[in-house]
Copies of this chain bind each other. A is one copy, B any other.
Amino acid sequence: MLDKIYRVNMTTMDFSIEEAPAEWMGLGGRGLTSTIVAAEVDPECHPLGPNNKLVFAPGMLSGTSAANSGRNSCGAKSPLTGGIKESNVGGTSAAIMAKLGVKALIIEGMPKEGAPFYHLHITKEKVEFFPVPELVGKNNYEVLDYMLEKYHKKVAVMSIGTPGEMRMNLANISVKDPGGKLRSHGRGGMGAVMGSKKVKCITVDAESYNEITLANPEKFKEASKIFTKTLQENPISGQGLPAFGTNVLVNILNEAGGLPTRNFREGRWEFAENICGETMAENIKARGGKTTHGCHAGCVIQCSQIYNDADGNYLTSGFEYETIWAFGSNAGIQDLDQIAKIDALMDDLGVDSIETGVTLGIAVDAGIVNYGDGEKIYDLIKNDIAKGTPLGRILGGGTHLVGKLYGLVRVPTVKGQGMPAYEPRAVKGQGVTYATSTMGADHTAGYAVATNILNSGGYVDPLKKEGQIILSRNLQIATAAVDSTGMCIFVAFPLLDDPKSLTALVDMINARFGTSLTGDDVTNLGMKILKTERAFNLKAGLTPSDDRLPEFMKYESLPPHNVVWDFTNEELDSFWDF
């Protein structure tokens, strides 16, 4: 019963469980979601209409004992970017789906106007549809409690909060993690797509699954051991991330002059100290949290943490650099605890912390809130976004739409998606990734910060154009492949620096499927995924002129290095010459 395609039709309230077609057999994660979306979704369709499809696919190695392999991909045409989207998440859903034999779950169609919201329950034999009017208007933790009680905790849970019900662009799909907290399919409004299909929640049976059958268990075990070792020996994945989490980056980026501040007006913030990873780690130690913590079983890096308040009570976990930056230097909140409260609130509502933070950064320019007014920002999220007041609808539309509605020129987005925590003028390789990624401004799509700032995979000067296109291209190709394995993005650090790491990864895949792929095959897979996504985007109406940073970055120079974005259109377009 392994490797089935589950198809759910929300127009007819029907389902099917099919054998995966031969050409999908070697695929998983992003490789599979993007292939399915490109094959089955009309690129010109309305992303919230009946002809879009929402696809979930665990990674190729998900469900196995391979370290850090528990990521689940979700794909669709994005209501935020108008292009294809893949968003992957930790938590428990990937492993449970993989072990149940769900190679992909495809949700298609759309119920009539006025239909109730549904809960879908996925088991080995069937998909059950339950109308859940009682859960409408509820947020994620309430939905989670309801489902864990109903199924005696033996399920994976994926759900949307009220922003997803309201089909807001910043709505995530939230996934239960091993500790009963939430992880997110963030970016691109995947929660809005789920909401448009009137699916409030999906549960996956965790009781009746089988363990994954490996083609070559011995070889797998051996390769897995080597892979884990390369993760542990790398200074970033083995030390930096476990000690300080991703928030180790605040001081690093601030020092580099690439920490976007005041809606991308400056690259350095005078209050970085208040919110940095070192301060966070001190707080955790003093208050009895946990500095190292995994977002899914099998993670050996453990960049997550448990962050408590001054009285030692739980505040949040999975407290990421991106979130801390967005509400910190960009929107001005100086109090790390306040950002933590906002983080927990956003988990409960299921809104993308980057898009929400970047939106609140530009909301300062729109006159909606004052820079650094954390109380008001908390209130805007809790009482406006969550409830869909007019102001909440505006903010719920994300950075790009706030810019449109208020006639603003300084709008830090690409393809409509808000820019993450690295100033592209000062970390130019990252800027190339923002500009050219099929996903819109996305930091994980080709994390050039590694080589521009962290000296991982060599060094390319962040302030110069030279070498950045090739750097970003190679990283984006590698990332597309890694995103298909089910591995978390941080395995990239050893992959970039230690050849044993890639060999071990390829060996694991071969041992899992009985294939004989090489490193080149992995690169080819990455290229094929990018080209498939790009072709979809072009058919959807995106063009090379969408592979651009916002114009203001070309004529407004960024302190402290006083740099502008100086790539020509031709240089950016050359990204796709492969």
Q: Which residues of A contact B (CB under 8 A)?
A: 43-46, 48-51, 79, 166-169, 192, 195-196, 389-391, 393-394, 396-397, 401, 404-409, 411, 538-543, 545-546, 548, 550-552, 555, 569
Contact = CB atoms under 8 A, between A and B. Distances in A.
A352 B542 CA distance: 28
B169 A404 contact: yes
Nearest to A393: B405
Count of this chain's copies in the oligomeric assembly: 2
B407 A167 contact: yes
20 contacts: A43-B545, A44-B551, A46-B551, A46-B552, A48-B407, A49-B409, A50-B555, A166-B407, A167-B406, A196-B407, A390-B390, A390-B394, A393-B394, A393-B405, A393-B406, A397-B404, A401-B405, A541-B543, A541-B545, A542-B543
A550 B48 CA distance: 12
B409 A168 contact: no
A126 to B, nearest CB: 29
Contacts of A48: 407-409
A394 to B, nearest CB: 6
Given A394-B393, A541-B545, A407 B46 contact: no
**Residue from A195, A396, A404, A545 with most neighbouring chain B CB atoms (10 Å):** A404
Contacts of A401: 397, 401, 404-405
Contacts of A408: 48
Nearest to A384: B390
Nearest to A42: B551
A571 to B, nearest CB: 14
A551 B393 contact: no
Nearest to A44: B545
Contacts of A406: 166-167, 393
A406 B543 CA distance: 26
A414 to B, nearest CB: 12
A405 B396 contact: yes
A407 B195 contact: yes
B551 A540 contact: no
Nearest to A196: B407
**Residue from A45, A195, A390, A405 with most neighbouring chain B CB atoms (10 Å):** A405
8 closest cross-chain pairs (CB), A and B: A167-B407, A541-B545, A390-B390, A390-B391, A49-B409, A397-B405, A393-B405, A46-B551
Nearest to A165: B407
B551 A51 contact: yes
Given A44-B551, A393-B406, A540-B545, 6 more contacts: A43-B545, A44-B545, A79-B404, A166-B406, A195-B407, A196-B409
Contacts of A389: 390
A465 B411 CA distance: 42
A137 to B, nearest CB: 15
A405 B393 CA distance: 6
Given A44-B548, A546-B541, A405 B409 contact: no
Nearest to A548: B44
Contact of A168 (B394, B407, B541, B569): B407
A192 B407 contact: yes
A525 to B, nearest CB: 28
A407 B49 CA distance: 10
Contacts of A45: 551
A545 to B, nearest CB: 4
Nearest to A538: B543
A51 B79 CA distance: 29
A1 B50 CA distance: 61
A409 B46 contact: yes
A443 to B, nearest CB: 23
Contacts of A552: 46, 49
